[in-house]
Amino acid sequence: MAGGEGKFSCTQAALSVLEYDTLKTVHIKSKKVGLIFRILQLVILGYIIGYAIIWQKGYQAADQAVSTVYSKVKGVAVTCNDLNVTSIRNCSDSDIRVWDTADYVIPPQESNAAFIVTNSVQTSNQTQQPGGWPEDPDASTKGSQRAYTCEKNADCEAVRFSPSRNGAVSGKCDLATKRCMVYGWGPVELSKDDDASQVLGYPRQMPQVKNFTMFIKNTIFFPHFQRKFGNTGLGNSSASYLKSCLWNESTDRYCPVFRIEDILSAAGVKSFEQDVMMAGAVITVQIRYDCNLDKNVETCAPEYRFTRIDEPNNTLSNGFNFRFARYAIGEVPSRDLYKVYGLRFVFIVSGTAGKFDFVPLLVTFGSGLGLLSLATIVADLLVTKCLRNAEFYYDRKYEIVNEDEVEGEAINVTIRQKPEEDTPLLH
């Protein structure tokens, strides 16, 4: 008997694979619920077709750009080495300093960036001598790179070779400034010269920079589509046009030649002389390509955005500056030390390209259809939780079965299905 029951159970288990289960459906004739349900479906379909597929181009395969960019700056600036003059027009011929591209673009070529000098502090003919040099009398006496005060040589001998602002402490005291002298390059750079450079009218400031022009050339390549685009073959690409045009967002947005003042204005700088010439600035040049290869596979125009990213109101260190030296090799090696302020342009190129592909279309549409279940969920919540007869609809939709009822029902079913005992035939 037990073996028969076991055989029957295994048979039933095997046959259950061929059975089919379906959800219970309750058809509710409510215009309110039906209207809400259909509106939700239309909204979701509108999102799928209008936004995900059309607006976001979900029907296209996409590729990211590989790019390169370089720049050339043109212009001439004039400064005066005589720091006592109040106007460049009063500068003598012997003190005039002319800056061309090779002078003010430092370094000459930089990866995805360019720097233009707008102001400088120059300490000329520095050498190193055995006895050391007097330290800057205005140098701070606090901090890791401080100058050391003294009354006699013994005060400096105690801190000999310690780092000072402009060198290493020599062990000798400069009684005139009450500062320890330093080994290093001298005469040392003076704080007062640096402070003077931050006053408008300083003879080494370069207001002409705002009229300089920058030629920006960049090329992008989309490996997946094997397409290459650039910013120099758009519109009129003749040599005469490129020599005379200037970029303007409204009238000539395809020109790759930019005036420095136009870039700064687009970045939110109001006055070149007041805002950036003295202390410098950092400007990002964002070049963005969005190429729809379904419309045009030959050209793709970039969009330019300019942003100032340094902190102009930071009193600790605003703008952008650095130091460099130019050396002269002679009987006594010497150098000219420059602290330069200027504009650092950082080029950021990005781009995407898209082209119709059946696979992303199916993926976008299929994933969007899954959102249609939200309409059913919302409608069920309204019916079972919010309507006036919500409890009635809840009982109709969800059938609650207790385990005791299942066992009792199973016994009754078994009794009804049990075959009647054999009875004698009537003759």
- The mean per-residue pLDDT over the stretch 286-294 comes to 92
Q: 304, 286 in Cβ contact below 8 A? A: yes
Give helix 31-46 / helix 373-381 axis angle, nearest 10°.
Answer: 150
Choose among 76, 88, 367: nearest CA to 209: 76
- Is 24 labeled as ligand-binding? no
Q: Between 202 and 379, where is the model more confident?
A: 202
Domain match, 303 and 319 both: yes
The rounded mean pLDDT for the chain is: 86
Domain of residue 35, CATH code: 1.10.287.940
CATH number of the domain that residue 257 is part of: 2.60.490.10
Between CA 261 and CA 258 the distance in angstroms is 9
Whether residue 248 lies inside any domain: the answer is: yes
On whether the pTM is more than 0.85, the answer is: no
Say if residue 259 carries a ligand binding annotation.
Answer: no
Is 314 marked within a binding site? no
**CA–CA gap between residue 106 and residue 326 (Å, rounded):** 12
From CA 322, how far away is CA 198, in angstroms rounded? 15
Question: 84-88, 234-238, 391-395: which range is least confident on average?
Answer: 234-238
- Whether the pLDDT of residue 306 is over 80: the answer is yes
Whether 172 is in a domain gets the answer: no
Tens of pLDDT, residue by residue over 241-266, are: 888 899 998 888 889 999 999 999 99
Cα 270 from Cα 285, distance rounded (Å): 17
Residue 61 phi/psi, 5-degree rounding, is: -80, 140
420 pLDDT above the threshold of 60: no
339 annotated ligand binder: yes
Residue 402 has pLDDT above 70, yes or no: no
> Looking at residues 11-31, what average pLDDT do you find?
71
Provide mean pLDDT across the span 59-76: 92
Residue 80 inside a domain? The answer is yes
- Is the model's pLDDT at 277 over the cut of 90? yes
- Structure tokens, 221: 């390549």
* Cis before 333? omega within 30: no
Among 328, 355, 382, where does a domain finish?
355
Would the annotation count 74 as a binding residue? yes
Residue 179 lies in a domain: no
pLDDT confidence of 426, banded at 50, 70, 90? very low
| pLDDT, position 93 | 92
Could you tell me which of 349, 341, 289 has the C-alpha nearest to residue 312? 341
pLDDT above 80: residue 96: yes
Contact criterion met (CB below 8 Å) for 245 and 252: yes
Q: What is the pLDDT of residue 415?
A: 57
CA 231/CA 245 separation, integer angstroms: 14
101 and 216 belong to one structural domain: yes
Q: Taking residues 11-21, report their average pLDDT.
A: 68
Domain presence at residue 183:
no
**Is 134 domain-assigned?**
no
- Report whether pLDDT(5) > 70: no
pLDDT > 90: percent of the chain = 51
Does residue 297 surpass a pLDDT of 50? yes
Residues 313 and 244 in one domain: yes
E-strand stretches of 85-134 = 96-99, 113-128
**Residue 425 predicted with pLDDT over 50:** no
Say whether 73 counts as a known binding-site residue. yes
My answer on whether 35 and 71 are in the same domain is no
Please state the rounded mean pLDDT for residues 32-61. Answer: 88
If asked whether residues 387 and 293 sit together in one domain, one would say no
Q: Is the pLDDT score of 232 beyond 70?
A: yes
- 154 inside domain: no
Query: Is the pLDDT at 97 greater than 90, yes or no?
Result: yes
Among 23-37, 89-103, 270-284, which stretch is predicted with the lowest mean pLDDT? 23-37
Q: Do 42 and 80 fall into the same domain?
A: no
Residues 332 and 391 in one domain: no
Q: Are residue 233 and residue 366 in the same domain, yes or no?
A: no
Domain of 366, in residue numbers? 26-59+357-401
pLDDT(164) > 80: yes
Residue 396 predicted with pLDDT over 80 = no
On whether both 237 and 370 belong to a single domain, the answer is no
pLDDT at 412: 59
Boundary-marking domain end, from 323, 355, 387? 355
Can you give the pLDDT at residue 134?
95
Report whether the peptide linkage leading into residue 187 is cis, meaning its omega lies within 30 degrees of zero. Answer: yes
Q: For the chain, what percent of residues have pLDDT higher than 70?
A: 88
- 294 and 242, same structural domain? yes
Q: Is the dihedral of CA 76, 80, 86, 88 positive or negative?
A: negative
For residue 195, tell me if it sits in a domain.
no
Is 292's pLDDT higher than 60? yes
Which pLDDT score, from 0 to 100, does residue 1 have?
Answer: 46
Of 247-251, 379-383, 408-412, give the range with the top mean pLDDT.
247-251
**368 with 225, same domain?**
no
Question: Does 345 appear as a known binding residue?
Answer: no
Number of compact structural domains in the chain: 2
Q: pLDDT at position 427, please? A: 42
Q: Are 72 and 93 in a shared domain? A: yes
